[in-house]
């Protein structure tokens, strides 16, 4: 039996020797590779944090000592060490399996739901202050990556750390990566910091020389802090953390478990906040992942022996791939086109644009608010056509920036809202199912969604002509492109996809496919439905829907978005505002609940958003069963 198989809690870990911990590290890596080769998930980051996670649990006492993992995609080892090394881990990121992020309902060792970068420091600081006010003595240990420091929220938290804060140990797990390579000035500070081992040596030598001065030497040495700090500022940026009140230790080899344990034991009871700077390698132990940590950040199934990715079963391109390919073509025709991303270049398929037009490509790091406001500034003069590509779940982080710096200014930035809809493997922190609700509230905002790759291209080509802030939202799903001419899309015009007299189905984006399948099922029951793709949620095609509602008094809306504030809400308000009093509406979408991880089709079935379950509700709700029984 392996060490890992014997561990049912962190307490059991403490009975192992340091040599055993090294063997355990390899066992954990083997377990990660076996499971993720089947389920997919965050491989490189978890391989890189094995020893650090083991050392933390070896020295501290979770859950009393609170580990707060930033983003928390690197918590797989933490889960294995805290009683979750069972069949749930074999199904991680799938239905009935573990969540891929920290999840308090799974275990008391997970203190917060996580998934977005930059929150750990603020959460940990709040927990530490609560602890002190309650006269408790436990440790609070936020674990952040170097990319965390590109988030403004992290710097705001640093600004509130006081020098008398004890039992607060910040772990900076530095692998020089977020998903893609880190960018920005903070990254340069860390690089200079870890590349200057001469700093502390020079300081010590200077103090030694000053102390040799007759009579006044010792006094001068003790009072020479300003001088030595000046020398440190010249040689490196080590004082960056010290100016925030931290005692800095490092950098330390994050894969040397013996050294990690020794350092953690030495600093655990210091009466001031401490930062331990560890250097780790993403993908540690798997050569392919070490060489290409970007590709192995979030993996699809792969061969566990060779770690080569298995061939894709889908021959269709996805919406993001079509967007990435077509925006390059637009850039070739339009030298005024500029593209912004908050560290999502790889996921949003923007690397080809960056490679071809580096001077017009801006990766601002994990800083969504800055990305949106920067887009407003870049677009203000009207000399550039600006596209800001951003995940739907991360767009929430820039709500005020969108209102103040784009919509209020009436600046026509085009937002490519990627991952709109379910993010099946990631769960509640990542689903892009809320942004229509706040986008609808913004005056002057255009919201549209293509049903396929061809319509996506048409919206991309047409958006700048509308001269308004625009959000084009699309999911990370396979779709068709259609080999047809790309036509101009007039603002606010929908399309009728099929006609019928008994029911009006209004379906948003890719859910048009489900609507057409639903129409076929209804037809078998004797119900003939009209299917409409609104294309635009805002502005709604008032002329089209006014005409359709005069002909249909039974209406169904379908969307992969929260029922609160989405397409259904827009249609409901339209019916009330324009006094279509005889119209009855049934809205299909995502109910007011937090949806966990699972397979895409499983999630749709769970909330009743597949054609078969929608058919049952429609037949019952509108009493359509009488149609099928008629001779």
CB 16 within 8 A of CB 24: yes
Q: What is the 3-state secondary structure (H, E, C) of 188-251?
A: HHHHHHHCCCHHHHHHHHHHHHHHCCCCCHHHHHHCCHHHHHHHHHHHCCCHHHHCCCCEEEEE
- For 168, list phi and psi in degrees, rounded to 5: -125, 110
DSSP conformational letter for 317: P
Q: Which of the following is catalytic: 79, 281, 397, 554? A: 397
Cis peptide bond N-terminal to 4, omega within 30: no
Note if 321 is an active site residue: no
Q: How far is CA 111 from CA 100, 101, 167, in A?
A: 15, 11, 17
Helix axes 567-577, 542-551, angle to 10 degrees: 70
Pair of tokens at residue 358: 């580096």
CA 506 to CA 567: how far, in whole Å?
A: 9
Q: Which of the following is catalytic: 282, 457, 538, 554? A: 282
DSSP 567-619: HHHHHHHHHHHTT-TT-EEEEEEE-SS------HHHHHHHTT-SHHHHHHHHH
Note if 457 is an active site residue: no
CA angle 322, 478, 517 (to 5 degrees): 130
Note if 368 is an active site residue: yes
CB 349 within 8 A of CB 378: no
For residue 169, list its beta bridge partners: 274
Nearest to 49 by CA among 83, 75, 86: 75
CA 155 to CA 241: how far, in whole Å?
A: 11
Report the catalytic residues. 282, 368, 397
């Amino acid at each position: 039996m392996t060490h890992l198989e014997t561990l049912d809690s962190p307490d059991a870990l403490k009975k192992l020797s340091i040599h055993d911990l090294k063997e355990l590290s390899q066992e954990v890596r083997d377990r990660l590779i076996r499971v993720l080769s089947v389920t997919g998930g965050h491989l490189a980051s978890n391989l890189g944090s094995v020893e650090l996670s083991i050392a933390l649990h070896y020295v501290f006492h979770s859950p009393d000592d609170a580990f707060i993992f930033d983003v928390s995609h690197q918590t797989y080892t933490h889960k294995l060490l805290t009683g979750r090394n069972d069949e749930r881990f074999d199904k991680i990121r799938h239905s009935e399996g573990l969540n891929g992020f920290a999840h308090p309902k799974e275990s008391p060792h997970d203190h917060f739901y996580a998934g977005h970068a930059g929150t750990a420091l603020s959460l940990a600081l709040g927990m530490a202050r609560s602890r002190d006010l309650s006269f408790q003595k436990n440790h609070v240990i936020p674990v952040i990556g170097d990319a965390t420091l590109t988030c403004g929220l992290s710097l705001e938290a640093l600004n509130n750390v006081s020098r008398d804060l004890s039992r607060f140990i910040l772990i900076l797990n530095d692998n020089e990566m977020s998903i893609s390579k880190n960018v920005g000035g903070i990254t340069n500070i860390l690089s200079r910091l870890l590349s200057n081992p001469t700093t502390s040596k020079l300081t010590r030598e200077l103090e030694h020389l000053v102390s040799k001065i007759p009579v006044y030497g010792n006094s001068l040495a003790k009072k020479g802090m300003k001088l030595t700090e000046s020398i440190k500022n010249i040689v490196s940026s080590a004082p960056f953390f010290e100016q925030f009140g931290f005692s800095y230790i490092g950098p330390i080899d994050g894969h040397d478990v013996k050294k990690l344990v020794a350092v953690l034991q030495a600093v655990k009871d210091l009466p001031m906040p401490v930062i331990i700077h560890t250097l780790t390698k993403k993908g540690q132990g798997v050569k392919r992942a070490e060489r290409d940590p970007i590709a192995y950040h979030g993996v699809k199934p792969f061969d566990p022996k060779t770690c080569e990715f298995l061939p894709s079963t889908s021959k269709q391109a996805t919406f993001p791939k079509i967007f990435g390919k077509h925006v390059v073509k637009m850039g070739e025709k339009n030298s005024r086109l500029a593209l912004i991303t908050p560290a999502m270049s790889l996921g949003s398929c923007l690397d080809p644009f960056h490679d071809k037009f580096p001077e017009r490509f801006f990766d601002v790091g994990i800083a969504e608010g800055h990305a949106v406001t920067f887009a407003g500034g870049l677009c203000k003069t009207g000399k550039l056509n600006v596209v800001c590509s951003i995940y739907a779940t991360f767009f929430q982080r820039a709500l005020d920036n969108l209102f103040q710096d784009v919509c209020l200014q009436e600046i026509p930035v085009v937002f490519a809202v990627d991952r709109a809809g379910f993010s099946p493997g990631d769960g509640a922190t990542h689903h892009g199912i809320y942004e229509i609700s706040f986008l609808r509230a913004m005056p002057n905002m255009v919201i549209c969604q293509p049903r396929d790759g061809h319509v996506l291209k048409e919206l991309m080509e047409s958006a700048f002509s509308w001269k308004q802030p625009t959000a084009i939202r699309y999911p990370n799903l396979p779709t068709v492109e259609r080999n047809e001419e790309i036509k101009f899309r007039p603002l606010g015009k929908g399309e009728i996809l099929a006609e019928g007299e008994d029911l009006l189905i209004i379906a948003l984006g890719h859910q048009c496919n489900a609507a057409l399948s639903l129409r076929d099922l209804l037809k078998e029951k004797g119900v003939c439905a009209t299917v409409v793709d609104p294309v635009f949620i805002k502005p709604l095609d008032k002329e089209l829907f006014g005409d359709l509602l005069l002909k249909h008094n039974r209406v169904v809306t379908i969307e992969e978005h929260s029922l609160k504030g989405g397409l259904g809400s827009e249609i409901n308000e339209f019916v009330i505002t324009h006094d279509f009093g005889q119209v009855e509406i049934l809205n299909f979408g995502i109910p007011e609940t937090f949806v966990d991880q699972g397979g895409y089709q499983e999630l749709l079935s769970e909330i009743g958003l597949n054609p078969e379950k929608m058919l049952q509700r429609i037949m019952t709700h509108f009493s359509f069963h009488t149609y099928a029984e008629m001779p």
